[in-house]
């Protein structure tokens, strides 16, 4: 049984709204534990589902986030945050590249392929991979023409949580450096991010991880993560490492 989530003592204003976006080939239920923690902390939450395998990233972002914003408007949100898993973060980056959101707060991305994934580079030509992951999955490679690479730096308040444990050793053989079985720690980083932290968890379960949930609450509340061994508060140093 999973250990109970340790909540921060402060309670958010209920007019602060959080949009949750799951990852590729997942459903909104994968974010239920995060949604519960956020509601318990006082946030209004919309755990948004979308058909991640049916369209390219840009189309998914436009349709999914527009719908989620309508919900936030109906709830009269005073401030709007995002918490995403994996490709959900790329949807947010794509949307904010082309649209401005009034009253945008903070964004937390869990295991995002911000620089793409080497697994996609190696497997996207396989018919089984294309069938499982759809058009959007084809766009998440590390090459210069991939969607993550073309989106450029972020200009919003972003905290990134990466995992460094894998339960898929075959995928990990395709990835350089520490990884979570789908994305390298290095590839979760993006120019312009406010903070970055590495925790000991895997890609499929990071959104249910106790530490990830605590760190998410901390960033939404303060704009920074707790200090840990894997903490990197200077986003500039991560950019230097990637050069």
- Interatomic CA distance for residues 26 and 41, integer angstroms: 25
The angle, 0 to 180 degrees and rounded to 10, between the axes of the packed helices 210-222 and 32-40 is 50
Query: Tokens 């840990």 — which residue?
Result: 228
What confidence score (pLDDT) does residue 231 get? Answer: 56
Per-residue pLDDT reduced to its tens digit, 43-67: 999 999 999 999 999 999 999 999 9
Decide if 19 contacts 68 (C-beta within 8 A).
yes
Token pair in block for residue 78:
């005073």
Per-residue pLDDT reduced to its tens digit, 97-122: 999 998 999 999 999 999 999 999 88
Per-residue pLDDT reduced to its tens digit, 154-193: 999 999 999 999 999 999 999 999 999 999 999 999 999 9
- Interatomic CA distance for residues 75 and 28, integer angstroms: 20
pTM for the whole structure: 0.88
Q: Where are the beta strands (DSSP E) in 126-203?
A: 157-163, 195-199
Query: Tokens 């720690």 — which residue?
Result: 185
**Residue 77's CB: how many other CB atoms inside 10 A?**
23
Domains in the chain: ranges and CATH:
16-242 (3.40.50.1820)
């Amino acid at each position: 049984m999973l250990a109970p989530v340790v909540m921060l003592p402060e309670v958010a204003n209920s007019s602060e709204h959080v949009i949750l976006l799951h990852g590729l080939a997942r459903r909104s239920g994968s974010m239920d534990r995060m949604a519960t923690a956020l509601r318990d902390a006082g946030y209004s939450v919309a755990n948004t589902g979308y058909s991640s395998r049916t369209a390219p990233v840009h189309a998914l972002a436009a349709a999914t986030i527009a719908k989620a914003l309508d919900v936030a408007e109906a709830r009269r949100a005073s401030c709007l945050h995002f918490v995403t898993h994996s490709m959900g973060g790329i949807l947010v980056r794509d949307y904010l590249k082309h649209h401005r959101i009034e009253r945008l707060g903070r964004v937390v991305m869990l295991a995002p392929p911000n620089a793409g994934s080497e697994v996609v580079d190696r497997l996207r030509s396989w018919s089984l991979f294309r069938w499982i992951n759809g058009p959007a999955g084809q766009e998440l490679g590390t090459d210069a023409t991939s969607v993550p690479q073309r989106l450029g730096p972020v200009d919003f308040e972003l905290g990134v949580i990466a995992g460094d444990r894998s339960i898929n050793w075959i995928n990990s053989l395709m990835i350089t450096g520490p990884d979570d079985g789908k994305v390298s720690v290095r590839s979760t980083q993006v120019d312009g991010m406010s903070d970055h932290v590495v925790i000991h968890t895997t890609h499929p379960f990071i959104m249910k991880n106790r530490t990830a949930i605590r760190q998410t609450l901390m960033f939404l509340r303060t704009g920074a993560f707790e200090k840990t061994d894997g903490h990197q508060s200077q986003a500039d140093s991560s950019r230097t490492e990637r050069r």
